[in-house]
C-alpha cells in the first residue's frame, strides 16, 4: 500500500515534443506529490509538486495533472528540450508521517535534437 | 531552498571497513533524512534524523549498520559500518523546508565497496 508505481521506465522524445510520465499510488493518505529531476552525478532536484486539493499545477513548461479518484498523477513537459534529458522521479508523502517520501521507480528521459 | 553539502563526494572503500558521510545545511532545519540510491535504482529512505532525538529507521535498516548522529540543527552524519559490496550506492541526505512538505537533497556521496 506504500508503493508508488511509475511508467514508462524510459522515454525518448523529439525536441519540441511533449513528454508524459505517469505515476499511480495506492495509499489514499498521501497528500503531497512532488516530482524530482536528477542529472547524472547529481542529487535529485525538486521540480514541481501538487497537493490533492487541485487537479492541475503548471510551472513554466512543466505541468502536473492529478486524478484523485483514479489515484494517478502525471508530469507533462511541454516543448521538451535536450537539456531536459534526465531521470525523473515521482514521489508521495503524508503530512502526519513526518515527510517520508516514497519514490517511484524513475523514468529516464532522452530528448533528441 | 536550503543549500546542502555532503562530504565526501565519493569514496572507494574495502569491505569490512566503515565510512562516515557528513551532511551540512546552510540554515537550521528540524528534519533531516538519509536515503540510499542503488545503481540505476530509485531512492529508499534509510532513516529520519531529528535533532535531540534518536534516529528513526525504516524497515530493513538498522542502527548497528547505519548509525546516525544529529548534533545540531545544521549537521548530520551517516556511518556505513562493516561494508560489503552490496553497500555500493549513492547516499543522499535531504532536509525538509519550513513548509513541512518540500524536501531538498544534497549532491550525494557515491560509495564503492571493493
B101 in A contact zone (CB under 8 Å): yes
Q: Which of A87, A109, A84, A88 is closest to A34 using CA atoms?
A: A88
Phi-psi region of A47 (alpha: psi -120 to 50; beta: other; left: phi over 0): alpha
B107 in A contact zone (CB under 8 Å): yes
**At A23, is the secondary structure helix, strand, or coil?**
strand
Residue A1: the pLDDT is 56
Residues in chain A with CB shorter than 8 Å from the CB of B105 are: 36, 43-45
Nearest to B108 among A43, A95, A105 (CB): A43
Q: Distance (Å, rounded) from C-alpha B49 to C-alpha B100?
A: 14
User: Residues, chain A, total?
Assistant: 113
Confirm if B8 and B78 have CB atoms less than 8 A apart: no
* CA dihedral for B109, A8, A32, A84, sign (positive or negative): positive
Residue B62 CB contacts under 8 Å (≥ 6 apart), including other chains: none
User: How do the pLDDT tens digits run along chain B, 114 residues long?
Assistant: 789 999 999 999 999 999 999 999 999 998 899 999 998 899 999 999 988 888 999 999 999 999 999 999 999 999 999 999 999 999 999 998 877 688 999 999 999 999
Q: Which of A38, A83, A60, A47 is closest to B103 using CA atoms?
A: A47
Residues in chain B with CB shorter than 8 Å from the CB of A32 are: 101
A107 in B contact zone (CB under 8 Å): no
Tens-digit pLDDT profile for residues A41-79: 999 999 999 998 999 999 999 999 999 999 999 999 999
Query: Could you say which DSSP state residue B97 is in?
Result: -
Q: Distance (Å, rounded) from C-alpha A6 to C-alpha B103?
A: 20
Q: 529512505: which residue's cell? A: B45
Amino acid at each position: 500500500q506504500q508503493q508508488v508505481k511509475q511508467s514508462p521506465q524510459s522515454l525518448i522524445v523529439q525536441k519540441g515534443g511533449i513528454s508524459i510520465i505517469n505515476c499511480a499510488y495506492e495509499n489514499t493518505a498521501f497528500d503531497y506529490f512532488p516530482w524530482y529531476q536528477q542529472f547524472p552525478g547529481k542529487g535529485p532536484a525538486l521540480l514541481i509538486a501538487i497537493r490533492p486539493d487541485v487537479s492541475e499545477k503548471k510551472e513554466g513548461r512543466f505541468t502536473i495533472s492529478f486524478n484523485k479518484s483514479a489515484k494517478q498523477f502525471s508530469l507533462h513537459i511541454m516543448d521538451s528540450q535536450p537539456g531536459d534529458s534526465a531521470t525523473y522521479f515521482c514521489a508521495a508523502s503524508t503530512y502526519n508521517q513526518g515527510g517520508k517520501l516514497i519514490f517511484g521507480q524513475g523514468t529516464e528521459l532522452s530528448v533528441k535534437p | 531552498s536550503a543549500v546542502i553539502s555532503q562530504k565526501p563526494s565519493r569514496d572507494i572503500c574495502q569491505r569490512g571497513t566503515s565510512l562516515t558521510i557528513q551532511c551540512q545545511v546552510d540554515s537550521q532545519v528540524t528534519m533531516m533524512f538519509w536515503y540510499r540510491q542503488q545503481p540505476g535504482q530509485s531512492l529508499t529512505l534509510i532513516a529520519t534524523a531529528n535533532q535531540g532525538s534518536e534516529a528513526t529507521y525504516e524497515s530493513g535498516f538498522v542502527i548497528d549498520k547505519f548509525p546516525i548522529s544529529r548534533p545540531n540543527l545544521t549537521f548530520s552524519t551517516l556511518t556505513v559500518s562493516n561494508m560489503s559490496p552490496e553497500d555500493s550506492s549513492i547516499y543522499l541526505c535531504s532536509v525538509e523546508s519550513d513548509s513541512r512538505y518540500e524536501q531538498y537533497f544534497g549532491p550525494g556521496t557515491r560509495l564503492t565497496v571493493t
